[in-house]
Amino acid sequence: MKKQLLNEIIEKKEKKIEFAIITNLENGESCVFEKNKPISKNFEKHKEKINFQFEKKKNGIIEGTNIFVETYIRPIKVIIVGAVHIAQYLVNFAKSLNFEISIIDPRGYFASKKRFPDIKIINKWPKEAFAEIKTDQNTALIALTHDPKIDDPALQHALKNNFFYIGALGSKKTHANRCSRLKEAGFNDGQINKIFGPIGIKLGGRSAPEIALSIIAQLVSEVYNK
């Protein structure tokens, strides 16, 4: 690989830009591919297939060619609101996945470095915390506190900013009350229905690690549906 190409790859990784490395296995020629940007003339005729593979987040050889596509996907930003017991298991599951985790909780005795080593912790209320975090449609929110004073502002921010995944812990009754509060705050049914509540896929488990597993499974599923 040429030094110029390697430097370009390093720069894009540092800036967390989504791209792919396209390589002709027959002659070793490579280039960087980005969506909606020009591609090297030598790969132009395969652009449609390259783009399809890139959109599917797949690595591999394009069928019928010698072209290998290796995708580099921007880390998914996951914001956990509530440093509760379930959050500890969520963080453990997420460590081996392409997730960039932040925890918001104004309660310092819950959200501590001792309980969550090597994780970004913001000991502030959600409204203040989100002023410090750059979010976009590549962001997921997991609300776990059951406390409307903490969860509701976070859910409102996620809805307004069109997060690709929004989930909130609680029973059906808790979620119904939550939805009523969001309606009173001016959100419509279409927006509110984007919230996974109760959060997680139905595994039948009730322990903290089982609930965390159901949440992380649902999140991963939505990653590939966005």
Which class would CATH give 76-223? Answer: alpha beta
Q: What integer pLDDT is reported at residue 215 of this predicted model?
A: 97
Q: What integer pLDDT is reported at residue 1 of this predicted model?
A: 60
Residue range(s) in the chain whose domain bears CATH number 3.40.50.720: 76-223
d(CA 193, CA 186): 14
Residue 94: CB atoms within 10 A of its CB come to 22
> Which pLDDT band holds residue 183 (cuts at 50, 70, 90)?
very high
**DSSP conformation letters of 141-181:** EEE----HHHHHHHHHHHHHTT-SEEEE-S-HHHHHHHHHH
218 in helix, strand or coil? helix
Q: Please check the confidence at residue 161 and state whether its pLDDT lies above 80.
A: yes
- This prediction has a pTM of 0.77
Q: 15-74, pLDDT tens digit by residue?
A: 778 889 999 998 889 989 888 888 888 898 898 899 888 887 778 899 889 999 998 877
Phi, psi of 131 (to 5 degrees): -70, -15
- Per-range mean pLDDT, top range of 49-53, 84-88, 131-135: 84-88
Q: What angle do CA 104, 110, 116 make, to 5 degrees?
A: 75
Q: Which two tokens stand for residue 179?
A: 């939805």
d(CA 142, CA 90): 10
Q: What integer pLDDT is reported at residue 134 of this predicted model?
A: 87
Higher pLDDT: 137 or 16? It is 137
